[in-house]
Amino acid sequence: MTGVVALVTGANRGIGQAFVEELLEQGARVYAGSRDPAAVQTPGAIPVGLDITDPAQVAAAAAGCADVNLLVNNAGLFTKQRLVLPEDPEAARAEMEVNYFGTLAMTRAFAPVLAANGGGQIINVLSVAAIVPTAFMGGYSPAKAATLFLSGITRAELEPQGTKVTALIVGSVDTRMADHVDGRKEDPRDIARAGLKAAAKGELTFDTDWMAVDARARLARDPVRYERGLGRLVHRAALRTGRE
């Protein structure tokens, strides 16, 4: 990572913080974007106040981090709401604003920055919910699916300037966002390490962990059964919480 100058969004905890730590350990210079820059506690990181849904802050980040050649779009929002029968009808819109439109805004703002620095690379941190309709993840699943398509379109549009794009399909990770998930969870540093290796190899879409690989295999073997199984989980969760 010598010579790499990275900006990581959502860098104050979870997978974002893990990317910051891993990049620093491998010798990169790292800007750590967060809505609250004071929450960035990683020694060596350069805190940047950044709400990716705020056009002024996105523009300021692009102007102030003009040496970036690696953009890690990690910031995300999961509201734990249903999509069609939610308690908060605005939750899905908020998830789309952060996970899709925020990532799009960052990509648009930093495309010329990356071009000026030799092309560079973009890593989009996605989810198993991007490759299969995940009912218990409400508006998050369609937002991540949209961002998977965004990754491919970005790759095509920015190919002439030499920008590479890697989309990471991430399973269950030991973060606050996955505190509702039972069972095995991956260490965020392992996800960051796998993601950086995948990007270095030029992978287009990469499954970062066992759950992501297993989900893709199940989907390939029997997509109807797998999707219905995920759908049933939303009802089991509702029964546990007394909502049904």
Marked catalytic residue, from 31, 100, 140, 226: 140
- Determine whether 140 is an active site residue: yes
What DSSP assignment string belongs to the chain?
-TT-EEEESSTTSHHHHHHHHHHHHTT-EEEEEESSGGG---TT-EEEE--TT-HHHHHHHHHHTTT--EEEE---------SSS-SSTTHHHHHHIIIIIIHHHHHHHHHHHHHHTTS-EEEEE--GGGTS--GGGTTHHHHHHHHHHHHHHHHHHHGGGT-EEEEEE---BSSGGGTT--S--B-HHHHHHHHHHHHHTT-SEEE-SHHHHHHHHHHHH-HHHHHHHHHHHHHHHHHHHT--
Would you name the residues annotated as active-site residues? 140
